[in-house]
């Protein structure tokens, strides 16, 4: 199957033009987005963000990628454990773990600018807040994250 790329003006619109509220509501319904789960997933990622930022000892202590991965793994395990205590169970490992390890590796562990800490928090808040304007690109990103987390949320039977 051949994929057709976007023309430059189409791509520009995809990443910059906000969708209107009616289209956003249609997107929510068409993708079966549960707004309560969306809030849960924001809490999950915000908890991960807070734990990573607050417990990072700095580059003078954590120098190697192996140590960065160990820090992230510790944060991740604590997060999953905290949610389990509330009877909300996420799988420990899977695509979601790899996805967010790569996200934090690129946006936090490697790119150490102080303003990036705030940008990550703002990004997550904006992405998960349905009352704020979104572009089609942001909606695609949000649905990808939503379905990754939903696939790794376990339900007790």
- Determine the distance from the C-alpha atom of residue 41 to the mean position of all C-alpha atoms in its chain, rounded to a whole number: 8
Report the C-alpha gap between 135 and 132 in whole angstroms.
10
Total residues belonging to the chain? 157
Rounded distance between C-alpha atoms, residue 102 and residue 37, angstroms: 23
pLDDT-based confidence at residue 9 (cuts at 50, 70, 90): confident
> DSSP label at 90?
E
CA dist., res. 50 & res. 66, Å (int): 21
Residues 6+ apart with CB under 8 A from 41: 128, 145, 146, 149, 150
Task: Taking residues 80-103, report their average pLDDT.
Answer: 96
Distance between alpha carbon 104 and the CA centroid of its chain, in Å? 10
87: tokens are 């009877």
pLDDT (tens digit, 9 = 90+) per residue, 12-66?
Answer: 788 888 899 999 999 999 999 999 999 999 999 999 999 999 999 988 899 999 9
**Neighbouring residues of 100: CB distance < 8 A, sequence distance ≥ 6:** 45, 48, 76
Q: What pLDDT, on a 0 to 100 scale, did the predictor assign at position 145?
A: 97
């Amino acid at each position: 199957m051949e994929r057709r790329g976007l023309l430059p003006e189409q791509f520009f619109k995809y990443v910059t033009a906000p969708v209107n509220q009616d289209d956003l509501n249609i997107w929510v319904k068409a993708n079966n987005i549960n707004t309560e789960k969306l809030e849960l997933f924001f809490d999950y990622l915000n908890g991960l963000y807070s734990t990573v930022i607050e417990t990072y000892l700095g580059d003078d202590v954590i120098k190697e990628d192996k140590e960065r991965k160990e820090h992230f793994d510790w944060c991740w395990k604590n997060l999953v454990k905290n949610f389990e205590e509330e009877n909300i169970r996420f799988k420990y490992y899977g695509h979601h773990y790899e996805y967010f390890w790569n996200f934090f590796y690129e946006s936090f562990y490697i790119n150490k600018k102080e303003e990036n800490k705030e940008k990550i928090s703002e990004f997550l808040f904006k992405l998960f807040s349905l009352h704020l304007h979104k572009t089609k690109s942001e909606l695609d990103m949000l649905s990808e994250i939503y379905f990754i987390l939903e696939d790794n949320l376990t339900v007790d039977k």
